[in-house]
Amino acid sequence: QLQLVESGGGLVQPGGSLRLSCAASGFTFDDYVIGWFRQAPGKEREAVSCISTSSGITNYADSVKGRFTISRDNAKNTVYLQMNSLKPEDTAVYYCAATGHYNLRCLLGGVFGWGKGTLVTVSS
């Protein structure tokens, strides 16, 4: 019954911006840490950012710090990822994931639900 649906992916030029959205249903959204993960072809899936249940704590991968911002609107059961200053290296399928409230480190083992992903392509 848990469902996570990503949207907002697409093609963007280097240096551009994009905002991803994740709409959640089927679980008590505000009880869980929500994260964004990404996977590029030939690479392992990696954590990008996670946000605490109350939005008070956020964590980011070193590669995106200062460029990406995660936020959540519990009233709308939605998590966002604002991506600025995009680089070709950011090209990947981005996945929204639900994880336990303890999993602020965005450990893959803590994820219990995944979206199907949205493709972000950063290219000239």
Report how far residue 29's alpha carbon sits from residue 98's, in angstroms, rounded to the nearest whole number.
8
Q: What is the pLDDT of residues 49-88, one digit of tens each?
A: 999 988 789 999 999 999 999 999 999 999 999 999 999 9
Residue 94: pLDDT above 90? yes
Name the pLDDT band for 102 (thresholds 50, 70, 90). confident
pLDDT at position 103:
84
Name the pLDDT band for 19 (thresholds 50, 70, 90). very high
Phi and psi torsions of 118, nearest 5°: -135, 135
